[in-house]
Amino acid sequence: MNNILVTGSSGQLGSEIKALHGSYPYTFFFTDRTSLDIGDAKAIENFVELNKIDVIINCAAYTAVDKAESDEQNADAINHLAVKNFALTCKQKNIKLIHISTDYVFDGKNYKPYTEEDATAPNGVYGQTKLDGEKALLHVGPANSIIIRTSWVYSAFGANFVKTMLRLGREKEQLGVIYDQVGTPTYARDLARAILEILPNIKNEKPKIYHYSNEGVLSWYDFAKEIMRMAKLDCQINPIETKEYPTPATRPHYSLLNKSKIKQEFGITIPYWKDSLDECLKTLGERR
């Protein structure tokens, strides 16, 4: 198990794997939409054969949640049909597949952290296409493949909530941030580390689903308050309700993920969200 294909390598998670890859004894092949057409099953198969790929980590995703409501075809092509292509190739070539999914496969109406066995019920196109991707992978059923659902991803790379709050915190005296959506952020570097650590120990006959986010529970309001505090930005954060900030896509009000399964089966420790935010802000040079 030496050659690893990482798709979506210009995104947050792909970029974090790229930043860490020198610490691991593998040869990595990083691709994005310009270097590998994941909608082309033959292109995937040829790339895997040519580079003797042993593992695919699929970080590629259509993540524009609101835009997906009016762009269903493109969202489905990336979040569903491309996943089926990966699954078919991995089954045919007998190679490992790690696919990244989302808390948006749930409707957010739970009262306790979602387990991998809880019923799915997406609220919109993004969540539905991600769920369809999961179902396609499960149906094809390649051995040594897993799905990792995550939530509220942020990173030192790309556009995300943390970087938006840092920018707005400098530009504005006060901000309204939603307090009635509850979950846990995921520092993409923590998830990248977890993936690379568990990789050698993925051994299953049928695909398995796991949940991963940082530890703890908070609202977007709490998250914004802590960003301002750590970065010492003099911007007042005011709590607002979801209905005061309408968007084309409906967000889950509750998206806490139960991480017991991945921790028990792989023996990993997951960092607390404040510790990870601190690390990210230091990486960005924003910790004060």
CA distance 99 to 202: 13
CA distance 200 to 268: 13
Two tokens, residue 243 = 């209905």
Are the beta carbons of 209 and 147 closer than 8 angstroms? yes
For 93, other C-beta atoms within 10 Å of its C-beta total 15
Q: Residue 284 is which amino acid? A: L
CA–CA distances in Å: residue 71 to residues 101, 160, 196, 235, 237:
19, 21, 33, 35, 33
CA distance 217 to 132: 28
CA distance 34 to 271: 34
Q: Residue 243 is which amino acid? A: K
User: Catalytic residues, which ones?
Assistant: 126
CA distance 65 to 45: 29
Burial of 155 (0-12, 13-18, 19+ CB in 10 A): buried
